[in-house]
Chains A and B, each alone.
Chain A
Amino acid sequence: MSVGQAIPTMVGEPPDDELQQRFLYEMLLIRRFEEKCAEMYTRGKIRGFLHLYTGEEACAVGAISALRDDDKIVTHYRDHGHALARGVEPNRIMAELFARVGGTNEGRGGSMHIFDVSKNFLGGYAIVAGHMPIAVGLGLAANLSHEDWAALCIFGDGGVGEGEFHEALNLAAIWKLPVVWFCENNGYGMGVPFDDSLANDVYKIAAAYQMPSVRIDGMDVLEVYSATQLALAHVREGNGPYFIEALTYRYRGHSMADPELYRTKAEVEEYRKRDAIERLKRSMIADGLIDEPTYQALVAQVGAEVDEAVAFADASPEPGLHTLYDHITKEYEGESG
């Protein structure tokens, strides 16, 4: 797999010092959180499928930082990073992974299905591209209510082969919906390289649906942020959807069960040299925005937060068996809503 040339999308002022600090902090938090998840998985605290986001942090942080609080997000099953970037409490995400009552979904969802309505985080979805039509409905709702919030739909390159991708892009285009389609192209649909899966580049396929479509460097948080800001401005003005293909890379396997027979260690190492966190750190040091001790303090801070999340999750009780049938349907009280 090779990474194509990024289309320049940087416009306007770069993010200010404070925002760059936040980017660094959030990417470090996600990295640390995911590493801890891997450890908790091997210790049997986390069960089921576990898909880690390590390496792709710049996508979540850059894209989600560009949103307003009233914008809505739907994403795929590699969703911890997105939830963290949206400000969902690490404690509650970890508790969900531990399948505890204190989890975001009270232990009903698990790693692939994190929800937090209070943050307009409307879920991780585990059927590839299955959430893309939902983003169409969110965009439709924004238009029908004549409000200027937008929907951000994050999905992987694997989703591009699904019919729902094409239906969703077409619907958003013909109805001019405020949806930002954000493709995290990490190079592989599980273990199959996207070059072997798709007849054309992702952003070119999207462009066929008559919307602006750009390919960006998904391992540069500043570029992701800038591109998403542009996209959001476009969709909020009633111009219809916008498509971003962010080239990125996951350092770990597809899931914890992945023996990674389809790629070489050298390839992974090559991408690690372009690590988004290291890159931002270097540029911030060069710009005099942080120094090494400040950076180490951030690392210690996220370490403590993640440890606290594990302690919180561990202390949270398992759901009682008497709650098995809770939440199958919402109770009818004579009115819908």
Chain B
Amino acid sequence: MTEMRMRDAIREAMREEMLRDARVFLMGEDIGAYGGSYACTRGLLDEFGPERVRDTPISESGIVGAGVGAALAGFIPMVEIMTINFSLVALDQIVNNASKLHYMSGGQVNVPLVLRMASGGGSQLGATHSHSLEGMFAHFPGLTVVCPAFPGDAKGLLKRSFREPNPVVFIEHTALYGARGEVPDDPDHLVEFGQAATVRSGKDVTLVGYSGSVHQCYRAADMLAEEHGLTADVIDLRTIRPLDMSSVIRSVRRTNRAVVVEDDWKFGGFAGEIAAQIMERAFDWLDAPVARVAGKDVPMPYNRNLEYAALPSEEDVVEAVLSML
């Protein structure tokens, strides 16, 4: 084990997979000399050269489509979309091409493409640069959606993404790039998709999160323990498609209460999917309606106080738990 930051774990995963498999190459806006907007590819240009670490123009649809094409021709491209906000101009490629070609072709082709993108608000970047669209991507059959919360998982999941024969949307929370954690040194350390992790165990409530919201759940669990004498299961989904509901259901049947936490808007959001599945599979075990703690239904404001109010907080999680007792 080595302690490292999330961004370094991500870089290490890409580096190891490039060393392991000559079919892997990277492209994206400013991933070369600049080293990536969030410094995830720093140093890789020097190590692998401009053919395999390719700077691109600002053409998200073009470069994602190019990734699809290269994948069809036998390569394993990683396309970095600087932030998830820009994925909106590449949706045609992600949704109409990457996610559907295997199915539409009757299984003739497959698209081993890794799309990395940074997500989340909280940095006063305003409404166009603060999206959390994980749930939107999880909506589309054919996509795998990975949302790591810890550096070790980020490395294992990203390495696993490069081995996947289908398109993977790998979403990194901007607030977590500097977060430190233990990362396995084993170059064959993979984290399987569709396996949630119980990062903290308790008996009074189940807190469910992914990506950044796992940390809110974790801090809320601390507050519940210290201030209210309550203990919580904290479940880190790690991938939201495939979704490991069995772990969530097992926990809820034991704690009888659940709060789902995400940065994304509450209306029509992914937390609603989890809440519905809990209702379908654990209704008789519930002592209270499943609560959702999520972003407020507004475009993200620039003002710091307003932005803080629009995002879910650990205090919101604690309040939700207390209100269901």
**A residues lining the B interface (CB < 8 Å):** 72, 74, 103-109, 113, 115-117, 122-123, 125, 127, 130-142, 144-145, 151, 163-164, 167-168, 170-171, 174, 326-337
Contact = CB atoms under 8 A, between A and B. Distances in A.
B165 A332 contact: yes
Given A167-B61, A329-B102, A336-B165, A115 B141 contact: no
Contacts, number: 162
B246 interface: no
Contacts of B25: 144
B62 A115 contact: no
Most chain-A Cβ atoms within 10 A of its Cβ — which of B66, B67, B97? B66
A171 B57 contact: yes
A332 B163 contact: yes
A134 B61 contact: no
A113 B105 CA distance: 7
Given A107-B106, A122-B72, A130 B62 contact: no
A171 B63 contact: yes
9 contacts: A108-B103, A123-B105, A130-B93, A134-B97, A135-B69, A144-B25, A167-B62, A332-B163, A332-B165
Contacts of B73: 72, 137-138, 141-142, 145
A168 B112 contact: no
Given A334-B163, A336-B76, A167 B106 contact: no
Contacts of B104: 105, 108-109, 113, 115, 123
Contacts of B108: 105, 115-117
B287 interface: no
A164 B62 contact: yes
B235 interface: no
A170 B77 CA distance: 20
Contacts of B57: 167, 170-171, 174
Given A127-B96, A136-B69, A167-B61, A337 B165 contact: yes
The 8 A-B pairs with the shortest beta carbon distances in the complex, nearest first, are A137-B69, A133-B65, A167-B62, A141-B73, A106-B106, A105-B106, A134-B69, A115-B105
Contacts of B59: 167, 170-171
A106 B104 CA distance: 9
A163 B142 CA distance: 25
A138 B105 contact: no
Interface in B285-325: none
Nearest to A146: B51
Nearest to B72: A122
B69 A140 contact: yes
A136 B65 contact: yes
A151 B68 CA distance: 14
A130 B91 CA distance: 11
Given A127-B96, A137-B77, A334-B163, A108 B69 contact: no
B61 A133 contact: yes
Contacts of B106: 103-109, 115, 327
B166 interface: yes
Given A329-B166, A336-B165, 9 more contacts: A131-B97, A133-B68, A140-B66, A141-B70, A164-B62, A171-B56, A174-B57, A328-B141, A337-B165
Contacts of A329: 102, 110, 142, 144, 165-166
Nearest to B105: A115
B163 A137 contact: no
A336 B75 CA distance: 10
A138 B73 CA distance: 6
Contacts of B82: none
A292 to B, nearest CB: 42
Interface in B33-82: 51, 56-57, 59, 61-77
B103 A164 contact: no
B92 interface: yes
Contacts of B163: 332, 334-336
Nearest to A101: B106
A141 to B, nearest CB: 3
Contact of B162 (A115, A174, A331, A336): A336
B101 interface: yes
B22 to A, nearest CB: 9
Nearest to A121: B108
B67 A137 contact: yes
